[in-house]
A and B are shown apart, each in its own frame.
Chain A
Amino acid sequence: NAGVMQNPRHLVRRRGQEARLRCSPMKGHSHVYWYRQLPEEGLKFMVYLQKENIIDESGMPKERFSAEFPKEGPSILRIQQVVRGDSAAYFCASSPGVAGNTIYFGEGSWLTVV
């Protein structure tokens, strides 16, 4: 039973390029969360999605960031026109969606903007 799968694990982008991070939730999980972890900082909530719906995007920067979780396929976190400050580890997690259920994390995607 595969866990939460994220790819790529490491991504290097030049300033101004686009970064796309993918997350496949665990089998049977319909809820996906994205978190960002900056160096020496904690885990910051970005967005919470169910299939085809954004439930809570209160942690998403207002510009350049977007997320989707289509009916088919992985969840995508998209960062347009990346800047150096976007360099971070981006973690995806999934859960079945029942209150109190554990959420399971992927191994993370490390974005470096040069």
Chain B
Amino acid sequence: AQSVTQLGSHVSVSEGALVLLRCNYSSSVPPYLFWYVQYPNQGLQLLLKYTTGATLVKGINGFEAEFKKSETSFHLTKPSAHMSDAAEYFCAVSDDDDMRFGAGTRLTVKP
């Protein structure tokens, strides 16, 4: 069965700084990988996903993630944090049509 580990339950950056949220996965077959964002009291919204093809995936709001098979990683990055990026971020893996999520990383952006 597939699983996801997100390193760091809380990440704090200054506005304008690089955002890096880490995600490692395990899967017995080539995985499909996702990042979702959750704002307070709301459901999850898809940021980006990797299925096949290019390993660098661009998503909404300036986020991108790179699939690295050798490292079993799918880290999420954004060059310059904005105050509106403060939210909870979830990495997810699917190797069939089931989907499992990491524990989430809460991103705080300081002015």
**A interface, CB within 8 angstroms of B:** 4, 31, 33, 35, 41-45, 48, 55-56, 91, 93, 95, 97-108, 110
A42 in contact with B103 (CB, 8 Å) = yes
| Interface residue ranges of B1-56 to A (CB < 8 Å) | 6, 32, 34, 36, 41-46, 49, 51-52
B101 in contact with A99 (CB, 8 Å) = no
**B interface, CB within 8 angstroms of A:** 6, 32, 34, 36, 41-46, 49, 51-52, 90, 94-104
What distance in Å separates the Cβ of A24 from its nearest Cβ neighbour in chain B? 14
A99 in contact with B44 (CB, 8 Å) = no
Chosen A-B contacts, 29 in total, with CB atoms closer than 8 Å, are: A33-B99, A35-B101, A41-B103, A42-B6, A42-B90, A42-B103, A42-B104, A43-B44, A43-B101, A43-B103, A43-B104, A45-B100, A48-B98, A55-B98, A93-B99, A95-B97, A97-B97, A99-B96, A99-B97, A100-B32, A102-B34, A102-B49, A105-B36, A105-B43, A105-B44, A107-B43, A108-B41, A108-B42, A108-B43
What distance in Å separates the Cβ of B8 from its nearest Cβ neighbour in chain A? 12
What distance in Å separates the Cβ of A67 from its nearest Cβ neighbour in chain B? 15
Cα–Cα distance between A44 and B99 once the two chains are bound (Å): 11
Shortest Cβ-Cβ A-B pairs, 5 listed: A42-B103, A105-B43, A42-B104, A100-B32, A100-B51
What distance in Å separates the Cβ of A48 from its nearest Cβ neighbour in chain B? 6
What distance in Å separates the Cβ of B103 from its nearest Cβ neighbour in chain A? 3
| B97 contacts across to A, CB distance below 8 A | 31, 95, 97-99, 101
> Which residue of A48, A100, A107 has the most chain B CB atoms within 10 A of its CB atom?
A100
What distance in Å separates the Cβ of A5 from its nearest Cβ neighbour in chain B? 11
Closest chain B residue to A91, Cβ basis: B43
| B100 contacts across to A, CB distance below 8 A | 45
What distance in Å separates the Cβ of A51 from its nearest Cβ neighbour in chain B? 14
| A44 contacts across to B, CB distance below 8 A | 101
